[in-house]
Structure 1
Amino acid sequence: MYSAITTSLENAILLITINRPDKLNALNKTVFDELNTAIDDVYNNPAIRSVIITGAGQKAFVAGADISEFQGLKHHEGMDLAKKGQYIFRKIEEAPKPVVAAVNGFALGGGCELAMACHFRIASENARFGQPEVNLGLIPGYGGTQRLTQLIGKGRAIELLITGNMLDAATALQYGLVNYVVPQEELLAKARSILELVNTKAPLAVGRCIKAANAVFDHTKDGFTEEVNLFGECFATHDMVEGTTAFLEKRKPDFQGK
C-alpha cells in the first residue's frame, strides 16, 4: 500500500515509520501524500486508539525536506508547498487520538516540524533538533516558526531559527521540547508504555483534552469557553456514565468510546 512509509497496528497503537533510511527519511511528495493517507485512517479507523510516528534506522527521525524538490520552484509554488505541509501537520496536531513522535536521531527542518506537530515527543539520547533553513536561504514553512515558539519560548526559538543551530536531546528536554530522553533501544517501548496507559482511558475524553489544549493557541477561539463546551459534551457520552458509575462501584471502567 505504501512505498515511503510503513504502518503496523498492535494493541490499538498504530506505528507509522518514515521509511527512506538511505535519504535519512527526508520528506518528499510521496512521504507527504502517504502520511496524509495514514492520518486519515487514524481519524476514521476505530481500531486505532493512538499513534507513534518514527523514522527508519538509527540515524534519523526525519533529517529534513527533500531539497531536490525545491529547485526551480517559484513564489506561488513555494507557498503551495508550505500550505500542503501545514495542512497535513495541522491534521496531525488536531487528531482526536494522541500522536507521539519517537525521535530517533536527527529531527531537522521539516523533521523537527513533523515532531512538533505531534502531541508530544520522546527522544533517543542521540536525537538532534533544529530548524536550519536559513542555511538554504529559507525559513521553516510547515509551522516550525509557530510551534517552536509555542514550545520553547520566543527568545530561544528566534535564536535557533536565525542561527540554524541544533539542540541535543538533553537541551531539548531542558527546554521542554521533549518529554523524555531514553536510550535508543528503549525509545519505542517508552512510547508504547505511555500510550498503553492512555488507551485504558475514555477515548472521547482523551480527544477532548487534546482539542481543549490546542485551543490555547487558536486565536479564533476562547480556550475557557471551548473547555466549558467540551466538558459539557462529555456528559452526553456513555463513557462518562460508565466512568462515574465504575468509580462509585469501585471497579475498573469499561470504556467503549461512545
Structure 2
Amino acid sequence: MATERVSHGLHGKVAVIEIGDGTRRNALGARDWHVLAGLVAWLPTEPGVAAIVVRGRGDTFSAGSDMNDWVDASFEGVEQTFRDMETCFQAIERSSVPVIAAVEDIAAGAGCQLALACDLVVLSEAARIGMPVARFGIQASEAFVARVSRRAGKAMAADLYLTGRLLTAEEAVNVGLVTRVVPAGTAFATATTIATQIAAAPEGAISAAKRALSQVEPARVAAGADAATTAGPTVAYNDFVEAIRDFLSSRRPT
C-alpha cells in the first residue's frame, strides 16, 4: 500500500508515514490522497501499532496538492480531488490511534490541512504554515475552515483565509495552531519521541482521551459526516484554471 509519494515503515509501536518524493515541496497527487487515507485506516489494525507519525520526505513537509494534476483538468475532476482530500483528512481525524505531524519548512494549503487533521503538530522553528488558497480561486469549505478555527479561533481563521499569509512557527504556537515548536531539523525526532511515549501508555486510556477530546471540539467535523456532506472546497473554475497556469509558468514559491 504505497505510491512513489506515500510510503510507510514500522518502528516498534510507532508507524511512520512519509509523504512526497522530495521534489515540488512534497506536493501530492490525486492517487496519493487515496493511499494515505487507506494507510491511516489500516495501520492501527496491525498488531502493536499504537501511534502514527506523518512526515515529509527530505527537509520539508508538504505544500499541498500537485498543481500539475490540475492542468487541463475538468471542473468535476478538480471537485473529486478535493473530496478525496477531505476523505483523507477525516480518516486521520477518526484514526483509532493518535496521529502526529512532524512539520519542517512548510505546510501550506492541503499540506496545512493534513497537519491540522492530526492530533498533535510538531513544527520546526524555521517552518511556516497557512492556507494561501484564495488566490487560486479555491473557495474554502466548512471543514477546511473548521480545522483552523477549532485550534486558533475564528479571528485567526479569517486572517489566514482572507490574507493567505503563512504564519511563522512562533506565531503558530502562540495562537494554538500547533502543539509545539522545536529547533530546525528536529521535528521528526521530537514527534517520534512523543509517539513512543504515547505508545507506552495503556491503550484504553489513550482511546478514552481521544474520544473525550472529540467531544469538546465543537468545530470539529461531526463524526459520521463524509467528504460529500462536509463539502470539500469548490473552485471558481475559470479563475482557478488561470491561476494554476500562471503559477506553473512562473514557478513562484508557494
Provide the TM-score with structure 1 as the length reference: 0.79
**Quick one: which amino acid aligns to residue 104 of structure 2?**
N
Deviation, structure 1 residue 80: 2.5
1:143-222 paired onto structure 2 within 5 Å: 143-216=143-216, 217=218
Secondary structure, counterpart of 1:40 in structure 2: helix
**Quick one: which amino acid aligns to residue 127 of structure 1?**
A
Secondary structure, counterpart of 1:185 in structure 2: coil
Secondary structure, counterpart of 1:107 in structure 2: strand
Runs of 4+ in 1 over 6 A off after TM superposition: none
> Relative to structure 2, which stretch is displaced further, 44-53 or 65-74?
65-74
Distance 1:208 1:20, change over 3 A: same
- Residue matched to 1:92: 92
1:184-235, CA deviations, whole angstroms, 9 ceiling, x for partnerless residues?
A: 33222211222222112111221231122123336868xxxxxxxxxxxxxx
**Quick one: which amino acid aligns to residue 167 of structure 2?**
L
- Give percent identity, aligned residues only: 27
CA RMSD of aligned residues (A): 2.0
- Residue matched to 1:66: 66
Q: Distance in 2 between matches of 1:49 and 1:83?
A: 28
**Quick one: which amino acid aligns to residue 62 of structure 1?**
S
Q: Distance in 2 between matches of 1:141 and 1:193?
A: 34
**Quick one: which amino acid aligns to residue 198 of structure 2?**
V
Pairing 1:126–2:137 present: no
Deviation, structure 1 residue 141: 5.3
Structure number with the bigger relative contact order (C-alpha 8 A, sep ≥ 6) is 2
- Residue matched to 1:79: 79
Q: Distance in 2 between matches of 1:5 and 1:212?
A: 31
Distance 1:64 1:142, change over 3 A: farther
- Residue matched to 1:52: 53
Structure 1 gap ranges (5+): 222-258
Q: In 2, are the aligned partners of 1:100 and 1:120 still within 8 Å (CA)?
A: yes
**Quick one: which amino acid aligns to residue 84 of structure 1?**
D
Q: In 2, are the aligned partners of 1:108 and 1:131 still within 8 Å (CA)?
A: yes
Q: Distance in 1 between matches of 2:65 and 2:222?
A: 30
- Residue matched to 1:251: none
Q: Distance in 2 between matches of 1:56 and 1:141?
A: 28
- Residue matched to 1:17: 18
Structure with greater Cα Rg: 1
Secondary structure, counterpart of 1:37 in structure 2: helix
Q: Distance in 2 between matches of 1:110 and 1:8?
A: 23
1:42-94, CA deviations, whole angstroms, 9 ceiling, x for partnerless residues?
A: 23212211010010111x20012112223444444443322221111111011
Q: Distance in 1 between matches of 2:76 and 2:64?
A: 21
Q: In 2, are the aligned partners of 1:4 and 1:30 still within 8 Å (CA)?
A: no
Distance 1:21 1:220, change over 3 A: closer
Structure 2 gap ranges (5+): 224-254
- Residue matched to 1:29: 30
Deviation, structure 1 residue 122: 0.4
Provide the TM-score with structure 2 as the length reference: 0.80
Secondary structure, counterpart of 1:21 in structure 2: coil
- Residue matched to 2:39: 38
